[in-house]
Every structure is written in C-alpha cells, then in structure tokens.
A and B are shown apart, each in its own frame.
Chain A
C-alpha cells in the first residue's frame, strides 16, 4: 500500500488559514488522495478527496502537486472546532467506493484562540 508522510503536529491561530502538508512520493496513477479528520472522542470524518486537480468543498480545499507526490489540505479560516487529527490517505477507486482505508498517525492540529 502506498504510504503517506505527515508532520506529527501543527499549530494555528483561530480565523487564520491552515495548510496541512502530505507527502506521498510512491503514489500510483490510480491512487486517489483522501483526507479525513478525527475530533476527540469521535470517529473519523470525511473531509475531501481528489485525483489530479485541485478540489474545493464547503469544508476545505485540496491542492495537489503537478507530479502528485505531495498535496496540501487548506482550511481557509481555522476555528476551534477544527482542532483534530487530520489523516492523509491514498486509495484507489475500489468498485465505486474508497476501499479499505490505510490510516497513518496523521497530523494533530491545535487551534489557539
């Protein structure tokens, strides 16, 4: 399974943008890049995914490098509720769904008021 590398932790100030990086140098052509986050005492929550082009949704933006070996999750204005562990995951389009997700340790994001 393709691996991802993320910083263990990051800090942000409330209402400022946050850029969470992810390296995936061994990504294959069929791997999608997914981001999930996990708030304390909750199950993971889907954030966004993409293949080659940058993606935006109501929660975040995903910027994918041209060579696809890295990506960045962008939270445009961090709130206290965004404090969570963020996971960057690779998986192929497995029969129409995401297949089994291989989680790493993720990046623990702290947001300061």
Chain B
C-alpha cells in the first residue's frame, strides 16, 4: 500500500491559464474522489469515479473544470481559464467498493495559487 499520490504538490499560475493535476490512487481501489479545500474550511466534494465512469459531479464543478479517469487507474483534474477563486487545495481520495464502509484514503493534495 503505497498510498494515494498527487502531483504536483504545489502549482502557481497566472489568472487565465489552464492547469492539470494528477492523482494516482491505491492500486486496487476502484473508487476515486476529488475534493477542494479552502483555508479554514473542510474539504468539499467535487466529483467521483467508479472505475472509469464519472458517476457524480457537484454543483461546485463549473464547466471550466473537467475530470477524467481514462483507464480506471489514475485521474486528472483540469481547470481551464483559472480565476482567483480557484486558489485552493485540491485533494484526491480513493476507496474500495464491495466491502461495507470502506474508508477513503486521501492524498496530501495539490495546492493551487492563482496570481
């Protein structure tokens, strides 16, 4: 169990640029989640995948955001035309379906700063 890894750990970009983050879940986990966390707040759910299918998207996920999990393994989260309000920590989590109440395992996140 190597844990959930996220890349990059930090990203600084200018407003209006596009950014892409990557998440590698725990290898046998078929569920993958994206959350966003701003300073002083708890994480907020964005979207989740079961294998390669994106099953739910939050209202927070505007049309500038897109997430993929093409082969049911790693996932990417892209933000187009970034805005100041996109500055946050983006967290990825994975879990195993099929056994009751499997916990979510989180990565340490990608911190995005918009200049």
Contact = CB atoms under 8 A, between A and B. Distances in A.
Contact of A46 (B43, B104, B107): B104
Contacts of B91: 43-44
Q: Interface SS of chain A: helix, strand, loop or mixed?
A: loop
B56 A100 contact: yes
B69 interface: no
B45 A102 contact: yes
A96 B103 CA distance: 10
Interface in A34-73: 34, 41-46, 49
B100 A93 contact: yes
Given A93-B100, A96-B97, A105 B45 contact: no
A106 B101 CA distance: 21
| Majority-rule SS of B interface residues | loop
Nearest to A106: B42
Given A43-B91, A43-B93, A97-B95, A49 B42 contact: no
Interface of B: 4, 31, 33, 35, 40-45, 48, 56, 91, 93, 95-109
15 contacts: A42-B108, A43-B108, A44-B104, A46-B105, A85-B42, A87-B42, A97-B97, A97-B101, A98-B95, A98-B104, A100-B33, A100-B45, A101-B104, A103-B35, A104-B42
Interface of A: 32, 34, 41-46, 49, 85, 87, 93, 95-98, 100-106
